[in-house]
A and B are shown apart, each in its own frame.
Chain A
């Protein structure tokens, strides 16, 4: 990544915050920490962050009210809400308060990282591209067509949306839950490897007759679409 991402973690559990800070640093993300809602609000208003990671239950000012107040002040930094609640209705209230994403505790750090990266990038570049390109793979969002090396690849509507989401976040890890949420618009636990099966179907369509492989599995995290040649260069 060209510029390092800077985030603010608002979390009252010092130990958890320290663990998060360390894990983010290892992933190349700089983080500040606030341990209550008021100081979180102050820091988020005074400094420019790429993403705020806000625990829902905080001393002195709870997470939802922090977000509402930030939005009222015209600060639109993307916010990811962490919550031990995590039921269907909690997600809805969280997003309604102005949060951009919602992750129930306990979570895998890889899940949090992937979501923070996606949120941080969303801020930088408004999504106006009509055509996504990764290597020699091309996805045209207007005509709903996919080509590789100039050859049209027919896809089912859902496969198209899956690829669209992956390519929109090219170079970034996308987790299975993120795919279920964004491609299927469900937030439930699918029990089995449903997403994997869909991804491998898609993979066989876009990679069977072509080289090099673009869509790869990131162990323990999810998937990423990336052209290694451009990335390595």
Chain B
């Protein structure tokens, strides 16, 4: 399709074309109406002037006779911008006056000429008169016919002028519209071209591409933005999926290898008691694998948002209290003190099981890593803060170095010092995924000014209470 053809198919151009047509129709109507009205008004005024003069002339004839009338008409005809005066004989031949020629038969009937008529002046060169006038014919008692008229050149000029103005204006408008069409249409086309270009790249597999935005916030930008948000989500899901398969390939192979080695060793071992112990180890190892596997699946399911369907108003304070109660004896066994300051009655929209798992992970982490710390306190607090609910779990363990805080949230990332502790390396990843699903956030900081201790801060948007 030709470039112009494509251009004409854009909505902007179609709309402006329609607009132009409608507007032109209105303008034409308006101009005709205005000129018509003013013409009629001018003719009215002309007729009135003629009528007055005709009355005067009749009056002069009655008082001063034919001679007085002739003198008066001569005087009047000489004045600049004079009206038209014709004195004709009974058969219509022109005897005197300032008109060179008239349409035949014009002087036959007394009264107003029915239409504006054409006449010829003495100054005109051609024989057909091209001046237009309006006149009244008087029939005197001696058979003379007097025509009193006025040229209509002025109103005629006015009409021509207005029509010219209209043509010029319409011309400018049309041109302007064309230019604007072209501008808008081309601009729109160019942006759409850029968008389809980007989509083609995305379809080719480059999910990091984004649709261009102009920054003007118009409908194209809004469309691009929501499509970009969608792309972001797809990219994230895709990455998650890829990461899961990478993780399965990499991080699950290690424990599987260990499992296999243990089984092999047990098989090779001759002692029955040894075998039993090995089998128990194998079961333990498998359980750990299953646990890792479940955690991985749970994270990707949470990230995919499929658990969103099971969201309802949940008693966050209650869940936190349950978790604290659940882990409190464990803390005690590790010579730690789990202290909770929880504002009661906080409700958020969420999934009870997932939040429970997330909070469990946090408290479990705190207990695991704070064991043996100088300050045995693990503090759990939650309160409403404006439109948010802020939940903190703070321990005084070794903490996480600042440069590793973003890292430890990632899947299977564990600090070297913590590798000896049991765990899947997925605890915080799950917490983060759960927080994201609840439109909340997770951040890590140090509990003590010297950088020791870990404080995990969760922010939930407050639900209805």
- Mark A residues whose CB is within 8 Å of B: 86-89, 92, 104, 106, 108, 158, 184, 186-194, 197-198, 201, 220
Question: Across the interface, do B353 and A192 meet the contact criterion of CB distance under 8 Å?
Answer: no
Interface string of B320-341 (1 = CB under 8 A from A): 0010011101100100000000
| In the A-B complex, the 8 residue pairs with the closest CB atoms | A188-B357, A197-B329, A191-B364, A88-B353, A89-B310, A186-B356, A197-B330, A87-B301
Does residue B172 face the partner (Cβ distance < 8 Å to A)? no
CB distance from B147 to the nearest CB of A (A): 104
A106 partner, pick from B290, B330, B357, beta carbons under 8 A: B290
CB distance from B372 to the nearest CB of A (A): 16
Does residue B102 face the partner (Cβ distance < 8 Å to A)? no
Does residue B442 face the partner (Cβ distance < 8 Å to A)? no
A88 partner, pick from B283, B310, B360, B364, beta carbons under 8 A: B310
Question: Across the interface, do A193 and B330 meet the contact criterion of CB distance under 8 Å?
Answer: yes
Please, which residues of chain A bring their CB within 8 A of the CB of B326?
184, 186, 190, 194, 198
Chain B contact residues: helix, strand, loop or mixed: helix
A–B Cβ pairs within 8 angstroms, 16 of them: A86-B294, A88-B351, A89-B306, A89-B310, A108-B283, A186-B357, A186-B360, A188-B353, A189-B294, A190-B364, A191-B360, A191-B423, A193-B330, A194-B326, A194-B330, A220-B280
The number of residues on chain B lying at the interface, defined by a beta carbon within 8 Å of a beta carbon of chain A, is: 36
In the complex, residue of chain A having the shortest beta-carbon distance to the beta carbon of B306: A89
In the complex, residue of chain A having the shortest beta-carbon distance to the beta carbon of B289: A106
- Mark B residues whose CB is within 8 Å of A: 280, 283, 286-287, 290-291, 294-295, 297-298, 301, 306-307, 309-310, 322, 325-327, 329-330, 333, 351-354, 356-357, 360-361, 364, 367-368, 422-423, 427
CB distance from A180 to the nearest CB of B (A): 8
Chain A contact residues: helix, strand, loop or mixed: loop
Please, which residues of chain B bring their CB within 8 A of the CB of A86?
294, 297
Question: Across the interface, do B309 and A89 meet the contact criterion of CB distance under 8 Å?
Answer: yes
In the complex, residue of chain A having the shortest beta-carbon distance to the beta carbon of B329: A197
CB distance from A161 to the nearest CB of B (A): 11
- The CA-CA distance from A193 to B326 in the complex, in Å, is 11
Please, which residues of chain B bring their CB within 8 A of the CB of A187?
353
Known interface pairs A186-B356, A189-B291, A220-B283; A92-B330 also in contact (CB < 8 Å): no
CB distance from A204 to the nearest CB of B (A): 11
- The CA-CA distance from A108 to B427 in the complex, in Å, is 22
In the complex, residue of chain A having the shortest beta-carbon distance to the beta carbon of B365: A191
In the complex, residue of chain B having the shortest beta-carbon distance to the beta carbon of A190: B360
Question: Across the interface, do B310 and A92 meet the contact criterion of CB distance under 8 Å?
Answer: yes
